[in-house]
């Protein structure tokens, strides 16, 4: 790093900020560069949304619970932190997923992937979609692709191709669950770009999905090879999702340890409230009245916290109006004796049209063996719809009652929980609207011109998954180093 960029401030101590700090220190050292890094975290703890509670023998995730193993940056980070032997996979017996329909749970229809039929024989047999809905879905193979390159909402795209019934009954609970959003507001290009690619390449999503299924064994073998290479052949579980046996906070704790040993300053309670251009650097004003100078600054907090710091210096554009969805995570711990349900699967999804408080549930102790003692059970339920925060703001008591009532209706579960843990993640899910990727690119261009040496990244910008956050941290570290060279 050049003489003019020695002090770097990283705002936000979530997975993105900590990964950025880790790789910045590491690459600077490899290149014999001298760089002082300060991580400023507003709250009293590191990790941001990653937040594991270890209680009475249970491993409870209050935010994310796992990550996609085929996305390699998280595996690289686990390797770099010496955590490969801590990785655990899902229980191979707990693969079944259910869908709430008419007040009870039905097995997720077969022959459908991400809400799109990929085996027509199996799809024809599902009772969850009416005969008319199925015929309309099959028409998809005859509908010409949309012309032009403009973005559209996922809801509009899927309705155009597969019809409204498929969107409401199948795609909405599956896809909206991933982003906790409104399918008619989420932009296709920033959330499921592969769908548009299939439409363009195969002229049909169904044909594209059937082709992907045909190629799955080859793609799977390639992914397994890449994964093995990423961890130097270390035998890690081969499952789609992975986590750490003591919870995701394991990676945060390891990052903190490495950073402190490496001389990185970590300031908890370090909320930055104003950013000022100083003569050859930037001055950051903290809520506690103190200030700090830095030659380069990386903002990794959610957009609703980072963008106001930039607004006095530049035009934010459409990103300034970005929406966020609040969600609550309600975890029930039970004694296995008298529990009264087999938990024969990974959990269930609930379409909005069912009118329930729960939007989805993970049968955590069945899916992840490490999360509960053998004689206990753990269930996690999600609450919160796009555009309506009322359920998330229910009192703890009322939320518990409503969720338990839904569990009684859907699963016949009446057991008394040993304890309940409720976590509200207000504005927890950024909503990538129509044209989001273009808005981010244009915003970054304006940022580079208005405030050279200031970078903004994190889940509000490019992607929400944990491996993507690690990758964004790695990329930001490279940008900071390149800026100083
Ligand atoms: P954050 O974790 O939000 O961290 C930002 C940090 O910035 C926070 O610690 C905050 O306190 C701090 N901060 C804010 N303002 C300031 C300020 N002014 N000054 C200094 N610091 C500030 N992803 C997966 O891959 N798998 C999952 O299973 C999964 N499940 C999820 C479940 C839920 C309920 C939610 C909400 C998200 C889930 N995600 C999942 C997404 C993933 O958890 C997030 O995208 C990711 O953790 C975001 O990390 P981040 O570091 O970018 O931001």
Q: What is the pLDDT of residues 250-272, one digit of tens each?
A: 999 999 999 999 999 999 999 99
Q: Are 287 and 305 in contact (CB under 8 A)?
A: no
Ligand 1 center to 126 CA (angstroms)? 37
Q: What is the pLDDT of residues 15-43, one digit of tens each?
A: 999 999 999 999 999 998 889 999 999 99
329 lines ligand 1 (CB under 6 A): yes
305 lines ligand 1 (CB under 6 A): yes
Q: In whole angstroms, what is the distance from residue 18 CA to residue 263 CA?
A: 14
Take residue 99 and report the two structure tokens written for it.
């869908």
Take residue 312 and report the two structure tokens written for it.
């006095």
Q: In whole angstroms, what is the distance from residue 162 CA to residue 171 CA?
A: 10
The answer regarding whether domain 324-430 maps to CATH 3.90.660.20 reads yes
| Domain map (residue ranges) of the chain | 7-49+250-322+432-484, 111-217, 324-430
Ligand 1 center to 49 CA (angstroms)? 4
Q: What is the pLDDT of residues 145-191, one digit of tens each?
A: 988 888 999 999 999 999 999 999 888 888 877 777 889 999 999 99
11 lines ligand 1 (CB under 6 A): yes
CA-closest residue to ligand 1 atom 27: 64
64 lines ligand 1 (CB under 6 A): yes
Which H or E run includes 117?
strand 116-117
Q: What is the pLDDT of residues 117-144, one digit of tens each?
A: 999 999 999 988 999 999 999 999 999 9
Q: Are 480 and 19 in contact (CB under 8 A)?
A: no
First to last CA, the chain: 5
63 lines ligand 1 (CB under 6 A): yes
Cα-flanking dihedrals φ and ψ of residue 228, to 5°? -65, -40
* pLDDT at residue 241 tops 50: yes
Take residue 409 and report the two structure tokens written for it.
């209706």
Q: What is the pLDDT of residue 3?
A: 45
* pLDDT at residue 206 tops 90: yes
Q: What is the pLDDT of residues 356-386, one digit of tens each?
A: 999 999 999 999 999 999 999 999 999 998 8
Q: What is the pLDDT of residues 449-467, one digit of tens each?
A: 999 999 999 999 999 999 9
How far, CA to CA in Å, does 34 sit from each of 5, 16, 120, 267, 283? 9, 22, 60, 20, 20
Enter the DSSP assignment of 175.
I
Query: Taking residues 335-347, what's their average pLDDT?
Result: 95
43 lines ligand 1 (CB under 6 A): yes
Ligand 1 center to 1 CA (angstroms)? 29
Q: What is the pLDDT of residues 270-317, one digit of tens each?
A: 999 999 998 889 999 999 999 999 999 999 999 999 999 999 999 999
CA-closest residue to ligand 1 atom 34: 63
Q: What is the pLDDT of residue 435?
A: 95
Nearest residue to 476 (alpha-carbon basis) of 214, 462, 418: 462
The answer regarding whether domain 7-49+250-322+432-484 maps to CATH 3.40.50.2000 reads no
Q: What is the pLDDT of residues 209-229, one digit of tens each?
A: 999 999 999 999 999 999 999
Q: What is the pLDDT of residue 174?
A: 85
Strands 104-107 and 97-101: antiparallel
Q: What is the pLDDT of residues 386-416, one digit of tens each?
A: 888 999 999 999 999 999 999 999 999 999 9
429 lines ligand 1 (CB under 6 A): yes
Which atom of ligand 1 is nearest the CA belonging to 46?
A: 9
Q: What is the pLDDT of residue 148?
A: 85
CATH of domain 111-217: 1.10.3110.10
* Mean pLDDT, all residues of the chain: 94
Percentage of the chain modeled with pLDDT above 70? 99
Query: If pLDDT is split at 50, 70 and 90, which confidence band does 4 have?
Result: low
ipTM of the complex: 0.99
Provide CB contacts within 8 A for 450, sequence distance 6+: 310, 313, 314
Q: In whole angstroms, what is the distance from residue 300 CA to residue 473 CA?
A: 8
């Amino acid at each position: 790093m050049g003489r003019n960029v020695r002090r770097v401030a990283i705002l936000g101590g979530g997975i993105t900020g900590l990964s950025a700090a880790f790789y910045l220190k590491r690459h600077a050292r490899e290149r014999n560069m001298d760089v002082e890094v300060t991580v400023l975290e507003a709250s009293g703890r590191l990790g941001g949304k990653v937040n594991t509670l270890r209680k009475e023998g249970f491993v409870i995730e209050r935010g994310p619970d796992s990550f996609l193993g085929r996305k390699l940056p998280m595996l690289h980070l686990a390797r770099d932190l010496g955590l490969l032997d801590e990785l655990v996979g899902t229980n191979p017996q707990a693969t079944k997923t259910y869908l709430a329909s008419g007040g009870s749970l039905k097995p997720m229809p077969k022959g459908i992937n991400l809400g799109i039929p990929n085996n027509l024989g199996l799809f024809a047999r599902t009772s969850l979609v009416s005969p008319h809905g199925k015929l309309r879905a099959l028409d998809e193979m005859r509908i010409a692709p949309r012309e032009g390159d403009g973005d559209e909402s996922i809801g509009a795209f899927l309705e155009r191709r597969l019809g409204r019934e498929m969107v409401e009954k199948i795609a909405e609970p599956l896809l909206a669950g991933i982003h906790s959003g409104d399918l008619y507001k989420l932009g296709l290009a920033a959330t499921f770009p592969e769908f548009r690619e299939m439409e363009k390449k195969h002229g049909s999503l169904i044909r594209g999905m059937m082709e992907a299924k045909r190629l799955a064994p080859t793609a799977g073998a390639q992914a397994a090879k890449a994964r093995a290479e990423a961890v130097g052949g270390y035998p890690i579980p081969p499952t789609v999702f992975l986590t750490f046996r003591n919870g995701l906070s394991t990676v945060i704790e390891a990052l903190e340890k490495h950073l402190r040993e490496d001389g990185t300053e970590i300031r908890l309670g370090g909320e930055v409230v104003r950013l000022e251009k100083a003569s050859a650097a930037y001055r950051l004003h903290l809520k506690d009245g103190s200030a700090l100078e830095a030659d380069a600054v990386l903002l990794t907090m959610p957009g609703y916290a980072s963008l106001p710091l930039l607004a006095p210096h530049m035009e934010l554009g459409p990103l300034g109006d970005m929406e966020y969805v609040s969600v609550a995570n309600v975890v029930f711990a039970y004694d296995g004796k008298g529990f009264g349900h087999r938990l024969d699967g990974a959990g269930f999804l609930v379409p909005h049209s069912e009118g329930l408080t729960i939007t989805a549930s993970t049968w955590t102790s069945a899916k992840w063996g490490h999360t509960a003692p053998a004689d206990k059970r753990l269930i996690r339920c999600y609450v919160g719809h796009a555009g309506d925060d009322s359920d998330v703001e229910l009192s703890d008591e009322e939320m518990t009652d409503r969720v338990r009532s839904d569990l009684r209706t859907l699963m016949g579960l009446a057991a008394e929980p040993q304890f309940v843990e409720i976590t509200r993640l207000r504005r927890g899910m950024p909503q990538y609207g129509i044209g989001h990727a273009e808005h981010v690119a244009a915003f970054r261009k304006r940022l580079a011109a208005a405030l050279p040496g200031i970078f903004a990244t994190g889940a509000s910008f490019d992607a929400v998954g944990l491996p993507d956050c690690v990758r964004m941290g790695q990329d930001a570290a490279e940008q900071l180093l390149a800026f100083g060279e």
